[in-house]
Amino acid sequence: MGIIRVEGIRTYSYHGCLAEEATIGGSYVVDVMIETDFNEAAISDELSKTVDYLTVHEIVKEQMAIRSKLIEHVAKRISDKLRSQLPAIQKLQVTVTKINPPMNGDVEKVSVTVS
């Protein structure tokens, strides 16, 4: 068993409850932590025996391009799609971070994590 992390996936997306967020958009960062058995890949040096990081990245980008009001919804969609496309995943954690959210205050970021 081992852990694969694909961290700092940056996107410019259009999530949020405010109408302006649908047109202006904002910066997001997605981090994915996957627990899987990659022992065979470590021995054989074969990509087919592990979780392909490129597939993880593509799924995140694809799901981040679909507008949602809530980042909780986006994180769940990413998690569901990763699980359906990558059956080798034993445990999964997806964190979606909204950079500089439009709030009445100085807030650097807001994050949600689904497991």
Question: Annotated catalytic residue: which of 69, 81, 91, 98?
Answer: 98
- CA angle centred on 23, ends 8 and 108, rounded to 5°: 40
Where would I find the beta strands (DSSP E) of the chain? 2-13, 26-36, 91-99, 109-114
98 is catalytic: yes
Task: Show Cβ contacts of residue 48 under 8 Å, excluding neighbours closer than 6 positions.
Answer: none
Q: Are strands 109-114 and 2-13 parallel, antiparallel or unpaired?
A: unpaired
Measured from the Cβ of residue 2, the count of other Cβ atoms closer than 10 Å reads 14
- Residues marked active site are found at 98
